Structure 1
Amino acid sequence: MDPVERLYLDAMMEDAAVPAHSLRPQLLAGARARRRPAAPAADWARPYAGRVAAMDALLTSAVDDDWARVIVEGWTLQELVAHLAAKDGLVAASVGAPVLGPPIGAADSLGRTGDVQAYERARSPEQTRRDWRAQADALCRHLATLPPTTPATLDGLEFAVRDHILARGLETWIHTADAARVAGIRLPDPVPEHIRPTADLCARLLPWTMLFSGLDGAGRTLHLTLTGPGGGEWRVPLGVADTEPGEPDARVTADVVAFCFLLGGRGDPEDFPAEVEGDLSLARDVLTTAPAFSGP
């Protein structure tokens, strides 16, 4: 089922009690009137396209008070959407896709975010929403012409564009959840076939998050079990130069959605709900450093 359809159905099946200031009534009205599908995308970019469609479904129901409400990082909903557009635009620039909004000055995420937010503050929230969606759709269309292994760079990190797009999907998912939480709306998770590649990215990032945090896991191996739809098992070599995993030094079992959100900076690593076995210190280091790449 299309992720947007799942969002609509979940909203319609919610309990009758509506929290104060909830967007649910408007969301239901929007669900009946507007059903904009995910942008056409390559198979490997569909987790991102699906999260864009889900976020857009939420945004189409927002009214003036919702746009002015602070969501996260001190940003209003309009500023949060501008942030997403800013980072999408930097990935687009890296692979030769169209870049919308103001000309690129600052080429780092925070600098570009500030530039796009300043630009969008002079525009209506609906224009900001349309600009963000147009940027995301233009990126998806361009990605359909590229191999997933095409190099792309964001904030000095060069990875295959497939991985950067999975990361963009994860951030869009997290910020959609941020906005929905403030609005008092419960949204469904992505479909399992979109969660699985996102979780795979999170697992493969663990050696890098450790190294970025000043810890070298070279020669050590983690057995990671993520439960729930879209989960699975990974044997992760914890050194960035390690090519093959060894026998597990530590084992971690956790919920797949919670683990993805941990990598995305949501949740406290110190009390993250996980079952750990083997080298407990290593397992704790893995969880503590997992959010190292998360940011606004």
Structure 2
Amino acid sequence: MTTSHAAVSSLLAAWTTCACSPDEADAVEAHLRTCETCRADVRGLAEATRSLAPQETQPPEEIRDKVLAATDRPDIPDYARAYAATVSALSALLKELDADDDVTEQLSRLTAADRLVADQLGVRDQKTWQQQADAICCALTRKPLPPELMLARAYETWICARDIAMATYKELPPPPPEHLHAIAGFAASLLPYAAAYRRMAQPDIVVRLVLAGPGGGTWSLPLEDHGVITVEMTMDTEAFCLLMAARTPPRSVDVMIRGDVELGYDLLDAGPALVAR
């Protein structure tokens, strides 16, 4: 399709809400790499879309209390505290749902994904997500698992809870900063794999990722085994996590890129590549 400025401008609203066809999305993303005017328009459209969403209520205190309680549990290993807290947050959120809120599909996917962990821990025959998640938390006090695996489960549980909250017009607080930092670090570690999946890995290139706000930090990510910093990307921590989870269009994220700008935007586009479709 044509990639003229006028043609792409007419697609920006659809692209911001993930409503473009694959060909249209490719054309928009290619144009955004070189057009600051359209990038500014995308940021404005993304903000307008958020402002038009139904007004959210304050998250129930029960959700915050359960998250804090899970964080303080002395029997949960440190590497699994983020998972326990996201389980508690989702559990509290589910209790706030109305009788006609159907979240069966989301919970079924989460339950299936958690089953890998459950099998490794010897957790069997749990009928619901809640029963399985509670059994996993209990089993983690007796048998260790790789920290990266539990961060992956915390990440997906948080994203699932956020999806449910948005679908049911509830508000869900983000993970506590220490948990968000751990989740962001895990998400950052996926970026080189996403680049390799998109055949972007190049020798001697290192990406510096600077995440701001609660849970932020700085990570140096080699696209291969070694290299020098070629591009630095700075953005909000939660926004980066949502981008990597394919919940935010990459070009709508407010990001500052230094160095190889084109490579930086290509990496943002590649970020969600590992998300199962």
When the two structures are superposed, what TM-score results if normalisation uses the length of structure 1?
A: 0.67
SS in 2 for 1:229: coil
State the alpha-carbon separation in 2 of the partners of residues 171 and 189 from structure 1.
13
Given the alignment of the two structures, is residue 53 of structure 1 paired with residue 108 of structure 2, yes or no? Answer: no
34-43 or 285-294, which deviates more? 34-43
Given the alignment of the two structures, is residue 144 of structure 1 paired with residue 141 of structure 2, yes or no? Answer: yes
Unaligned stretches of 5+ residues in structure 1? 1-18, 68-76, 102-127, 149-160
Question: When the two structures are aligned, how many residues end up with a matched partner?
Answer: 219
Unaligned stretches of 5+ residues in structure 2? 1-53
Given the alignment of the two structures, is residue 219 of structure 1 paired with residue 204 of structure 2, yes or no? Answer: yes
State the alpha-carbon separation in 1 of the partners of residues 195 and 216 from structure 2.
22
Tell me which stretches of 4 or more aligned residues in structure 1 moved more than 6 Å.
none
Q: Provide, for residues 177-209 of structure 1, a one-character-per-residue CA deviation record: whole Å limited to 9, x for no partner.
A: 111112222221111110111111111111111
SS in 1 for 2:96: coil
In structure 2, the residue matched to 1:273 is 254
Higher helix share: 2
Contact persistence 1:207–1:217 (CA under 8 A): no
State the alpha-carbon separation in 2 of the partners of residues 219 and 145 from structure 1.
43
Given the alignment of the two structures, is residue 194 of structure 1 paired with residue 179 of structure 2, yes or no? Answer: yes
Displacement after TM superposition at 1:144 (Å): 2.9
In structure 1, the residue matched to 2:8 is none
When the two structures are superposed, what TM-score results if normalisation uses the length of structure 2?
A: 0.71
State the alpha-carbon separation in 2 of the partners of residues 214 and 99 from structure 1.
39
After TM superposition, list the pairs within 5 Å mapping 1:59-138 onto structure 2: 59-67=94-102, 77-93=103-119, 95-101=120-126, 131-138=128-135
In structure 1, the residue matched to 2:188 is 203
Displacement after TM superposition at 1:97 (Å): 2.8
State the alpha-carbon separation in 1 of the partners of residues 96 and 252 from structure 2.
35
Residues 283 and 57 of structure 1, relative CA distance in 2, 3 Å threshold: same
After TM superposition, list the pairs within 5 Å mapping 1:151-166 onto structure 2: 161-166=146-151
SS in 2 for 1:248: strand
State the alpha-carbon separation in 2 of the partners of residues 212 and 92 from structure 1.
28
Residues 48 and 283 of structure 1, relative CA distance in 2, 3 Å threshold: same
State the alpha-carbon separation in 2 of the partners of residues 217 and 51 from structure 1.
36
SS in 2 for 1:89: helix
Contact persistence 2:162–2:172 (CA under 8 A): yes
State the alpha-carbon separation in 2 of the partners of residues 235 and 78 from structure 1.
39
> What amino acid maps onto 1:176 in structure 2?
A
Displacement after TM superposition at 1:87 (Å): 0.6
